[in-house]
Chains A and B, each alone.
Chain A
Amino acid sequence: MSADRAEASTNGAGRQPVLSVRNLHTAVATPEGSFDVVRDVSFDIGPNEVLCLVGESGCGKTITALSVMRLLPTPPVRITAGEIVFDGADLTQLPERGVRDVRSERISMIFQDPLTSLDPVFTVGQVMTEVIRTHRDATKAEARDMSVDILRAVGLPAPEERFDSYPHQLSGGMRQRVMIATALVLDPEILIADEPTTALDVTVQAQILERLRQEQQDRSMSMLLITHDLAVVASIADRVAVMYAGEIVEEAPVDELFSNPRHPYTQGLLRALPHASRKRRELVPIPGLVPPMQMMPPGCRFAPRCPHALEQCWSDHPPHEVEAGVGFRCFNPQPF
């Protein structure tokens, strides 16, 4: 089943991917029935590669990431089909125990809101020490040294004192650095960052992104960055996957996506973006709203909002096409 998918993947260099998501379906159970919030999502992340997952709020980006980490709030949300292949094993089939060994040690995740994402009644150091000692045979002193080193590396001032601080004693940017440090302390192969800068001040956002980029390069780590901010995408991504209503509608190398987007939704996103070089060009919003999950159209999910929709778009669901290293889901791609 995954043979055609592997071919359909746009992983350019043909290197062995570190993480390979295949036809992932994640559904939420509601009183009205079960609905796919992530539908037939496939992507690869190569070694040392940054893949950005972009899309509007509620398009399934976070659910995709949580599926990979097996952190879905089950019930009501659960993976219903597909594979998540990491190091030869399908993460969807691993027992809880096996997943815990992967988390943080090999795949780490940081979250959107650093204010609520840190345990308020334990110090930074207590939590970091516990994470280290859960996975490694380390004394408390060794764990402390490891923690202080990584806190210093991610740019936290006075890391020795901060080790004994409670989260409420830190600013938002410092808390995000603590979360990054905790995620990186075991030197994972993949970092999943779910909107890591959305809750921060603009000036701090740039610092945190720069730090993430730096760590990713220094450690030759792969990264899955989730964002709705195309400026972030342009500054950090190697490849981009655009999600709409639970599906990846386009996937391309970052330069290709910005210069030559295929899918009308991607084109719409780019037209809605202010651009310094274009003088006073009007921003063009995408008309309409994302359909609610109970009322998804049977054909292309974007058809109701698409300026180029054909007869076929309303009746048939477009498959994932690949053309010159770019994957997209559209019957009628337009030149940009």
Chain B
Amino acid sequence: MKRIAARSIYTLIVLLLSSIAVFYAIRLSGGDAVSARLPASASYEEREEFRELLGLNDPVHEQYFRYMGRLLTFDLGKSLTNNADIFDMLTEHGKNSLILGAAAFGLVFAIGVPLGILAAVRRNSWADGSVMTFSVAGMAVPNFWLALLSVWLFASTLGWLPSAGCCSFKQLILPAVVLAMEGIALTVRMTRSAMLENLGQDFVRTLRAGGLSEASIVGKHVLRNAMVPIISLAGLRIGQIVGYALVVETIFGWPGLGQVLVNAVLRRDYPVAQFFSLVLITIVVLSNWLADVGYTVANPRLRRT
């Protein structure tokens, strides 16, 4: 419990520092936020007036404190491009991203862990060989290329699945699989090596001496031990999925948070870009915190009693 408390404080500090970093980065990244809102024909005076209105001429730290104060009262502001309420954007696109992310996250473990177990139990067989080849390919292939390839094969050539759009089950399949691919590849590898490592431990011999069945030893005891590192890194898989969502959502036209953020950055819509960056950072940081909690729960040796 002490460990979890310490990690929680650490997590809060990381969140605070990253909010400062995002705030400064967007203001230092160049480009003109005002041109996102005003027509190109606007005069210098009009632009200057608009800047003053948004507080863009104040020192950055003042702007930061003002922004954070408003965040705490859930006053998220509006988009500069279409005047949409940012809170409404969050709920609408957040739901879409959650569906895609949860599907990908589920696939990572639903496919990765069983394949890893298979490879470990049938070590050095053709099954192990194919699973490991698949894993190397999954890690080596960049997801944007995999996305384009899968669209070409399953949508254009075979016509089995739609190439883009939201939000039917059929439209979900391709982006979810592409998003999950690297996580699956890594999870397969980790499961296999963790299973093999634990199969060689002394306690396995003790359990065999106890007359337990091989199914229980491998499927229960060794698997539970092997899950410790996999659960602890599950949080990192969330982080990975959030990062790749920017690319995958854009390619598949999936209207999620990643797509919103990419568009906002392209249009210098800084209130939107800044807020959604913070949202994604918060998800990644919280998932790492969750990983720590998960590790503590999965590993009795770290539980304080």
Residues on A close to B: CB < 8 A? 69, 71, 96, 100-105, 108-109, 111, 113, 116-122, 127, 130-131, 134-135, 166, 168-169, 179, 182-183
Pick from B201, B207, B214, B300: contact of A116, CB below 8 A. Answer: B201
* Docked pose: A47 CA to B229 CA in angstroms: 47
Of the residues A100, A102, A111, A168, contact of B301 by C-beta under 8 Å: A168
Which 6 residue pairs spanning A and B have beta carbons closest together?
A: A103-B211, A116-B202, A104-B211, A131-B210, A109-B209, A166-B300
Chain A residue numbers with a CB within 8 Å of B301 are 120, 166, 168
Given the interface pairs A168-B300, A168-B301, the reply to whether A118 lies near B206 with Cβ below 8 Å is yes
Give the distance in Å from the alpha carbon of A15 to the alpha carbon of B202 in the complex.
36
User: In this complex, what residue of A is CB-closest to B217?
Assistant: A119
In the complex, chain A residues whose CB is within 8 Å of the CB of B201: 116
Which residue of B is nearest A96, CB measured?
B214
Residue of B nearest to A113 (CB): B202
Q: Is the CB of B300 within 8 A of A103?
A: no
Which B residues are CB-close (under 8 A) to A117? 202-203, 205-206
List, in ascending order, chain B residues with CB within 8 A of A100's CB.
Answer: 211-213
Residue among B210, B221, B299, B300 making CB contact with A134, cutoff 8 Å: B210
Q: A131-B212, A134-B213, A169-B305 are known contacts. Are A119 and B205 too (CB-CB below 8 A)?
A: no
- Residues facing A in B209-237 (CB within 8 A) are 209-214, 216, 221, 224-225, 228
CA A179 – CA B239 in complex, angstroms? Answer: 42
B51 within 8 A of A: no
Is the interface on chain B under 10, 10 to 19, 20 to 34, or 35 or more residues? 20 to 34
A86 to B300, CA, bound (A): 40
Inter-subunit contact A71/B212 (CB<8 Å): no
CB atoms of B216 and A104 under 8 A apart: no
Question: Can you name 29 A-B pairs with beta carbons within 8 Å?
Answer: A69-B209, A71-B208, A71-B209, A96-B214, A100-B212, A100-B213, A101-B211, A103-B208, A103-B209, A104-B211, A113-B202, A116-B203, A117-B203, A118-B206, A119-B207, A119-B221, A120-B203, A120-B225, A120-B300, A120-B301, A121-B299, A130-B216, A134-B210, A134-B212, A166-B301, A168-B301, A179-B206, A182-B206, A182-B210
Secondary structure type dominating chain B contacts: helix
> Given that A116-B202, A130-B216, A168-B301 are contacting pairs, would A122 and B221 also be in contact in the complex, using a CB cutoff of 8 Å?
yes
CA distance A182 to B210 in the complex (A): 8
Q: Mark B173-215, 1 if CB is under 8 A from A, else 0.
A: 0000000000000000000000000000111011111111110
Q: What is the chain B residue whose CB lies nearest that of A165?
A: B305
Cβ of B210: which chain A residues have Cβ within 8 Å of it? 103-104, 127, 130-131, 134, 182-183
Shortest beta-carbon distance, A126 to chain B, in Å?
Answer: 10
Bound-state Cα–Cα, A96 to B201, Å: 20
- Chain B residues near A121: list those with CB within 8 A: 221, 224-225, 228, 298-300
Which chain A residue has the least Cβ–Cβ distance from B222?
A119
Do A130 and B212 touch (CB < 8 A)? yes
What residues of A have a CB within 8 angstroms of the CB of B224 in the complex? 121-122
Distance in angstroms between the alpha carbons of A238 and B69 in the assembled complex: 83
Please determine whether A131 and B211 come into contact, CB atoms closer than 8 angstroms. Answer: yes
Q: Give the complex CA separation of A4 and B211 in angstroms.
A: 34
- Least CB distance, A63 to chain B, in whole angstroms: 13
> Measured between C-beta atoms, what is the minimum distance from A75 to chain B in Å?
11
CA distance A120 to B207 in the complex (A): 12
Cross-chain contact B205 with A111 (CB below 8 angstroms)? yes
The docked-state distance in angstroms from the alpha carbon of A176 to that of B165 is 62
